[in-house]
Amino acid sequence: MAEEGWRRIARSATCVALTILVAATSLSAAARAWWVFDLFTHFRPQLALGCLLACVAAGLLRARALACWAVAGLGLNVFLMASVIWPSPPVTLADGRPVRVVSFNVAFFNRDFAALGPFLESLHADAIALQEMPPGRLPALLADLPDYPHRFLDANLDQYGVVVISRWPLVERHSVELGVPGRPAARVTVEFPDARLDLTAVHLMWPLGAEVSRQRDAQMLALARVARNCKSACVMVGDFNVTRWSPHFQDLLRDSGLRDCAQGLFVPPTWPSWPLPLRIRIDQCLANRAVEVDRLAAGPAAGSDHLATINELRIAKQR
């Protein structure tokens, strides 16, 4: 009797969990219909893993109907993931210049701004893109970064702005309007002794609401237009507030001609910084085919709710 009672409880718990997983998976497939449905896409790997665990549980409980639903949910999630991570032709540069680009949403409510300078120095980046750097705290940070004398600060209009600093000269630098007042991108050209990098740093809208979701999608459309005009090695980094599982992000890749630097299934998630099974990657790096990706990593939180992204790249040298 005790065993039968345990089985009923386990079956009920599996049924409830599976209902939630299958419902979320089904709604995520309609992400273009409503911004709420799009939120479910960001947890595609977690949904797949949950369906897999539910399948195992149903098998142990000998619940054939539940197992069939779990397999269906798993299959749909795997299919939708495969359409995103299916390998594209790799970019290999025989004599590319190594470049390290760091992007970090430092969080305007950061708990330890004093440690931010030493932390960024320790990453030994060629160029750094910062988001959510409060303008009032910027002078103290820059004083701690003497190895980065080249700076573009015009797109840091408020606590949601962007800053680019570099070890190398910035020969071109300007703000790029993306259709949302007060939220421009920063676009610079980093000049190395033997190469140039067109670098755009962004902080897109947080998509919790119909209007702000529409604004974020419009920002990505504007970024696609910027990328199409790039004739050299081109990289975009920053807090995109979207994962690669969203169809809107896939639209950006398609319309821009850029590719996601994060290839394959296992890529470093970046938000939230505290260890949770629901951590996702919303801090992105995109590049054109004049850029080879060596390695991507996620750094420590350094007081933020985001992890820094460390992008090891190679760019084509100038002839």
Domains of the chain: 2-85 (no CATH), 97-315 (3.60.10.10)
Report which residue type is found at 84.
Answer: V
Q: Computed from CA positions of residues 189, 190, 195, 198, in that sequence, does the dihedral angle turn out positive or negative?
A: negative
Q: What is the tens place of the pLDDT at every residue in 237-256? A: 999 999 999 999 999 999 99
Q: What is the tens place of the pLDDT at every residue in 82-92? A: 989 887 788 88
Tell me which H or E stretch contains 198: strand 196-203
Q: What is the tens place of the pLDDT at every residue in 281-315? A: 999 999 999 999 999 999 888 999 999 999 999 99
Give, in order, the Cα–Cα distances in Å from 52 to each of 39, 63, 70, 150, 244.
21, 14, 7, 50, 21
CB 6 within 8 A of CB 53: no
CB 101 within 8 A of CB 313: yes
Q: What is the tens place of the pLDDT at every residue in 31-83? A: 999 999 999 999 999 999 999 999 999 999 989 999 999 999 999 999 999 98
Segment 267-272 shows an average pLDDT of 92
pLDDT at 20 (0 to 100): 97
- Pick the closest to residue 115 from 296, 268, 301, 269 (CA basis): 301
- CA 288 from chain centre, in angstroms, equals 16
Q: How far apart are the first and last CA of the chain?
A: 80
- Pick the closest to residue 312 from 95, 91, 97 (CA basis): 97
Q: For 43-52, 146-155, 260-269, which range has the lowest pLDDT when averaged over its residues?
A: 260-269
- Provide the percentage of residues in the chain whose pLDDT is more than 90: 86
Residue 99 confidence (pLDDT) above 60: yes
32 C-beta neighbours (distance < 10 Å), count: 13
pLDDT band per the 50, 70, 90 thresholds, residue 278: confident
Q: How many alpha carbons lie under 13 Å from residue 65 in its C-beta half-sphere? A: 4
305-318 b/e (C-beta count within 10 Å ≥ 16 → b): bbbbbbbbbbbbbe
Q: What is the tens place of the pLDDT at every residue in 2-25? A: 557 788 898 999 999 999 999 999
pLDDT at 151 (0 to 100): 97
pLDDT at 292 (0 to 100): 96
Cα separation, 47 vs 77, in Å, equals 7
pLDDT at 192 (0 to 100): 97
- Report the mean per-residue pLDDT for the chain: 94
Residue 166 confidence (pLDDT) above 60: yes
Cα separation, 304 vs 282, in Å, equals 14
Q: What is the tens place of the pLDDT at every residue in 170-199? A: 999 999 999 999 999 999 999 999 999 999
